[in-house]
Amino acid sequence: MIKKTVANVQQALHGVKDGMTFMLGGFGLCGIPENAIAELVRLGIKDITCISNNAGVDDFGLGLLLQKHQIKKMISSYVGENDEFERQMLSGELEVELTPQGTLAEKCRAAQAGFPAFYTPAGYGTEVAEGKETREFDGKMYVLEPAFKADFSFVKAWKGDEAGNLIFKGTARNFNPCMCGAATITVAEVEELLPAGSLDPNEIHIPGIFVQRIFQGEKYEKRIEQRTVRPII
């Protein structure tokens, strides 16, 4: 067994520097690497490019990095619900590259799987395709999209073991598996870190080969963005 465990979040983030590109899992605030984000805030590194479907809310998730002006560029599909984000974007402090959600996921997966680029129909004929190579297959038009390149991936799983194997829970899975192995170093934080052999190999979502460092997160707030309930009739 090749051991991937590190003692804490400080060791897990060893080597992060100003100007790097990071992938961060999560959809809204669901399944975000809360402990890695908190440590990035503490380290105060600057000029980061973040690849993440969303940009958090004002006081949580990537919003915490925005507050400290640590992010230079966001690559996302949807960035609503964040006033500070809007302010920085409109004032030109923050660069934003909007990418269709399926394309964003596939640009991660392509990096993980060793594809330099892929063709997708998403965005053909729109401003997203401007300046990009297009090609016809079977009478339909497609846009060539390159794989992402990133220095670190920060992902969050439910359970993991010493070998770096991961299991996700519910829709907290989202972009996390696609980002494993898609950057030079993948850092996984888990709610529960178990000895090797504790997880059934049949149940593993992401094999440890895609993960370089794994640690148990100190705490998880798991904030709900839109609490919606059904009336009791």
Please give the residue ranges that form the binding site for other proteins (CB under 8 A). Answer: 27-31, 53, 76-80, 86, 90, 96, 98, 100-106, 108-109, 120-128, 158, 168-178, 205, 222-230, 232
Q: How far is the CB of 30 from other proteins (least distance, A)?
A: 5
| Residue 229: half-sphere exposure toward Cβ, Cα within 13 Å | 5
Say which DSSP state 151 is in: S
Q: How far is the CB of 8 from other proteins (least distance, A)?
A: 24
Strands 213-216 and 95-98: unpaired
Phi-psi region of 26 (alpha: psi -120 to 50; beta: other; left: phi over 0): left
Secondary structure (DSSP) of 96-133 = EEE--HHHHHHHHHHHHHT-SEEEE-TTTTSGGGTTS-
Consecutive H or E run containing 63: helix 63-67
Q: How far is the CB of 6 from other proteins (least distance, A)?
A: 24
Q: Of the candidates 27, 34, 36, which has an alpha carbon nearest to the alpha carbon of residue 183?
A: 36
Which one, 9 or 55, has the nearer CB to other proteins?
55
Q: How far is the CB of 150 from other proteins (least distance, A)?
A: 16
Neighbours of 162 (CB within 10 A): 18
Which one, 139 or 201, has the nearer CB to other proteins?
139
Which one, 40 or 105, has the nearer CB to other proteins?
105
- Calpha distance 180→152 (Å, rounded): 10
Q: How far is the CB of 103 from other proteins (least distance, A)?
A: 7
Which one, 2 or 229, has the nearer CB to other proteins?
229
Which one, 21 or 54, has the nearer CB to other proteins?
54
Which one, 42 or 87, has the nearer CB to other proteins?
87
Neighbours of 65 (CB within 10 A): 24
- Calpha distance 31→136 (Å, rounded): 37
Q: How far is the CB of 126 from other proteins (least distance, A)?
A: 5
